[in-house]
Amino acid sequence: MTKTAANSRNLARKPRGFPDKREATLHAEAAMIERVTSVYRNWGFEALDTGAFEFADALGKFLPDDDRPNAGVFALPDDDDQWMSLRYDLTAPLARFAAENWQTLPKPFRRYASGPVWRNEKPGPGRFREFMQCDADTVGASGAHADAEMIAMAAEAMRAAGAAQGGFVIRVNTRRLLDAVLVSIGADSEAARITVLRALDKLDRLGVSGVADLLGAGRMDDSGDFTKGAGLGAEAVKAVLAFAEAGRATRAETIEAIGRAVGGGEAAKAGLVELAQISDGLMALGVAEEDVVIDPSIVRGLEYYTGPVFEAELLQEACDEAGNPIRIGSVGGGGRYDDLIARFTGEAIPATGFSVGISRLTTAFRLLGDLKPLNGPVIVLNLDRSNPSIALQAATELRRAGIRAEAYMGQSGMRPQMKYADRRGAPAVVMIGEDELSRGSVTVKDLKVGAREAASIQSNEEYRDVRPGQFEVGRADMVTRIREIVEADQ
């Protein structure tokens, strides 16, 4: 090949944040979605798919600037020059759908949805530009009982997704209390408010002293970079930290501690009532204290939510591929958003919802070692390349019995075919040569058992004599013996 021809090739490359997914990941995500949506259906929610694109002006808080239609979203002009965008989440499309169909929908409208969403943001570890979510929302129901139901269902959905009992927690707070604290310390400007909330959001990572610095003059990190603080005085910092650290052993005790921290203003009283009603609802729904806690440091998306906010967090520690410890953190969340649909209708319609981050959870479980490897198909080796019909017939017989199987389609010899089966994650291979044909039998090799037994074999001669995991069986018994191998490894 000439140098010019080689240089004319396109470079095989992929944009960051758009992961390629092979079967194990796809299967894990699909199975997780099925388990989570089964919970949503069991609680009476109905499925809805709104499609991938929305007009850009329907994206609510994610509305891009007119002169930057791709800011935060992936957008393109429609044939009538209206900008449309790939959905940023599954909630903004629901708001548009509910506004369009409000007169004919059952009220409240309870829907669940799953699918990919896209964000035009800088990707990073565990952060993608395209990822899967699985949401449930109740539109048209006000009151803390609807929020309590959503939180209780979120805990059940986390367990269905694969989180171990005690391995996750749903943290709950309310915007009302946060607003009350901000008003009490004089953080009236939007800039001061955002700085305080961002500082609180780092409490689990930086600790009390680090957040205290960010609430005050500022903080210098280990690299020497300085982050300007909110500029609060010592008493204001103390008040914010007293609120953020009000968590106690039980939800009831935490609410009492928060009450002492926030004082007696009207906004504070309303927030305390809201949390108390949610706590009562969780008790009625039988939600364990370890599954759901009141955590006043949660400041999730306050420009979006109008009342209670909740965040799902995995508690297990994990390591990345290089063995470095990583914090998994939030894998889902939600809250009450009573103003989103009003953008279309002009009237407030109450709504509350929760989203499970399917892609993030799948990544977390893979790092934790909790994703069981997925078996590939049983491979029927093609030992007579001039006449593959024997292998084709055996594979067909296995498939008709409900066993995933394929006949090898390449032109390679025995060793490459065995390597192929290993790379496919096959639980077993079937071999039918001249000797097996004459005896009316097949040779089966259980690859998982063979690998375990081979580990103790010291020489090639012994390996050839023992043939670990390999046995011969009558053709009539092939399906039964293969099924035993497959089921034993599930």
> Which residue ranges make up each domain of the chain?
14-164+316-374, 165-314, 378-488
Cβ-contact 303, 198 below 8 angstroms: no
| Structure token pair of residue 417 | 């075919």
* 14-164+316-374 and 378-488 have identical folds: no
| Structure token pair of residue 375 | 């078996």
| CA distance between the termini of the chain | 48
Q: Which residues contact 131 (CB under 8 A, 6 or more apart)?
A: 116, 117, 357, 358, 359, 360
Question: What was the pLDDT predicted at 253?
Answer: 95
Question: What was the pLDDT predicted at 294?
Answer: 97
Q: Which of 47, 50, 67, 46 is nearest to 58 (CA)?
A: 50
The neighbouring-strand residues paired with 173 are: 309
Question: What was the pLDDT predicted at 332?
Answer: 95
Q: Which residues contact 223 (CB under 8 A, 6 or more apart)?
A: none
Q: Please, what sign has the CA dihedral across residues 375, 378, 382, 388?
A: negative
* Distance between CA atoms of residues 178 and 232, nearest Å: 16
8-state DSSP, 373? P
Edge to edge, the sheet with strand 53-55 lists 53-55, 83-86, 75-77
Residue 426 half-sphere exposure, CB side, CA atoms within 13 Å? 28
Question: What was the pLDDT predicted at 43?
Answer: 98
Query: pTM for this one?
Result: 0.87
What is the amino acid identity at position 34? E
User: What is the topology classification, in CATH, of domain 165-314?
Assistant: BirA Bifunctional Protein; domain 2 (3.30.930)
What architecture (CATH level 2) is domain 378-488? 3-Layer(aba) Sandwich (3.40)
Blockwise average pLDDT, block size 10, the chain, 490 residues: 63 92 92 98 98 87 56 87 91 95 96 96 84 97 96 98 93 90 81 82 86 88 84 88 91 94 87 96 97 90 81 85 77 93 89 96 88 88 88 97 95 92 94 93 91 64 62 95 89
Question: What was the pLDDT predicted at 464?
Answer: 55
| Structure token pair of residue 442 | 């097949």
What architecture (CATH level 2) is domain 14-164+316-374? 2-Layer Sandwich (3.30)
Cα separations in angstroms, 281 against 36, 45, 212: 22, 19, 34
Give all strands (DSSP E) within 329-469, no chain letters: 329-336, 351-357, 378-380, 405-407, 428-431, 441-446
| Structure token pair of residue 16 | 């960051």
What is the amino acid identity at position 412? S
Cβ-contact 410, 420 below 8 angstroms: yes
Q: Which residues contact 206 (CB under 8 A, 6 or more apart)?
A: 214, 219
Largest CA distance in the chain: 92
| Structure token pair of residue 49 | 């798919």
Cβ-contact 152, 288 below 8 angstroms: no
